[in-house]
Every structure is written in C-alpha cells, then in structure tokens.
Amino acid sequence: MKKTLWIVLAVLVLIIGGAYFYLNTSPSQFAEEAGNSTKKVDVVDDSGFLMFTPMNQDVKESVIFYPGAFIDALSYAPMAKGLANAGYKVYIANMPLDLAVFGQNKAADIIDSHEDEHFVVGGHSLGGAMAARFAHENMDDLDGIFFLASYADEKGTLAKAPFSALSITATKDGVLNWDTYEKNKKYLPENTTFVSIKGGNHAQFGAYGKQNGDKEATISVEEQTKETVTALKTWLAVAVK
C-alpha cells in the first residue's frame, strides 16, 4: 500500500513538474512596468500577495484575485493597476507552485486580517474556479465574484449566492472549454452579468505572452486589459454596494 502511494505521488510530481516547465510563462514588460508604484498607486509584494493600494483617495472596495494555472501573479499587474487607479484596492495571490488548486483558501488570509475592508473575489481560468470554491464556503464574507475566461463548478456552486457575479470571456479564446462554460452557467448566481471582448484571447487576460492552445488575438493586450478593467469597474459600481 505504501509503495503504491509513493508511486502515485512520484507520478503526480512528474506531471506537475512537466506541466510547470511546459506551460509556465513569465510576466511581460507591460506587466513589469505596471508592477511599479506611482504617485496614485502603491504596489507592495508582501505576505503572499501583490497589493495595489490607491493613494490619496478612499478605497471603494477590495478585490482579491486568483491567477490562472502556472501564471505568475505579476502578470495581472496591468489589470490590478487599472482598478487601483479607479479607487479599488487589489490583492493578487501568489499561489503555491503557481497553482490556485493548492491555495484555494488564500483569500481568507486577507479577509481575516483586514476586517475593516469589504471584498469581492475573482480569478482567471483555474483561478476563477478556485475562487468560486472559496466563495461557496464563505458567502457571508463577500460582496461579489468575477470570472475571467472561467466558470464555477459543482463544488463551487454559487446558484444560491446572495451576491452578483461578472463573467468576462473573449471571442478568440482557444483555451477555455466553451462547452463546459455554457453547461456550468447553472452554478452562477441568478444576478450574473456576461461580457464578451471581441478579438481578445485567453492569455491576454494577463500579460504573459502566448499560451499553448490559444488563438491569435486581433486586439492588443493593452486594449484587452482596458476593456476588462472597464467591465470590472462598471460591474463594481452597479452591483457591489
């Protein structure tokens, strides 16, 4: 029995290790630049999170974000910077092995230590699914949830959630399982807003270059980030009170 367990663990390590080196990407220059502090936004890497804090204005809402599989947290800095410039504080989780499946409850670390803040949670791809599972278990602590090229599953069902959701997809996404995405809409809150970004793809919800299996975007990563941030700001302003 012990020998079988060790074999299974060894196989899992090999699979994860191989996937990490095959799929892992690095933040682009666009992301690196967005990760720098400015007069309007303070950026700090601390306690397992990248934190983007608006300066000289009241924080409207705090956002906790779960990255996609094997994607460095810094890759989402442009999106976070855009929200922070508009008055939203953003925490991007640094996940163990860059896999949100190993850090499903990371949002609790922020929520428990910042009781004066109000939170929404969201994520990209696998990160969105894990954010939904966290939200499923912690509905009373959240004001909403959003998905970037992602969806909730049965274990993270939010069909009876008291808050609203935002689902953003892109027309050139070649990574998202569209059949499962459509089927799993039943796990979303009744009050869910759907936004489609024309010409965008899966990878450009972050800023880390091309992703295996994705389609070519017909808009730039800067444009897709701008449209994503606009959709998030619109949803946050209307749906989150």
**Secondary structure element (H or E) that encloses residue 81, with its range:** helix 77-85
Given a cut of 70, whether residue 197 has pLDDT beyond it is yes
Q: Is residue 116 part of a domain?
A: yes
Least confident of 32-41, 83-92, 93-102, 121-130: 93-102
Domain count for the chain, please give it. 1
Segment 39-42 long-range contacts (CB within 8 Å, at least 24 positions apart): 40/84, 40/85, 41/81, 41/84, 41/85
Residue 154 within any structural domain of the chain = yes
Please report the sign of the dihedral spanned by the C-alpha atoms of residue 43, residue 96, residue 110, residue 228: positive
> What digits encode the pLDDT tens for the residues 101-158?
999 999 999 999 999 999 999 999 999 999 999 999 999 999 999 999 999 999 999 9
Prediction pTM value: 0.90
Answer yes or no: is 214 within a domain: yes
CATH number at residue 141: 3.40.50.1820
What pLDDT shows up at residue 11?
41
2 assigned to some structural domain: no
Boundaries of domain holding 167: 27-239
Q: For residue 64, which of 98, 109, 26 has the smallest C-alpha distance?
A: 109
The DSSP symbol for 216 reads: P
Q: In this structure, is residue 125 part of a structural domain? A: yes
Beta strand pairing call for 144-148 and 164-170: parallel
Backbone phi, then psi, for 200, in 5-degree steps? -85, 165
Establish if 4 belongs to a structural domain.
no
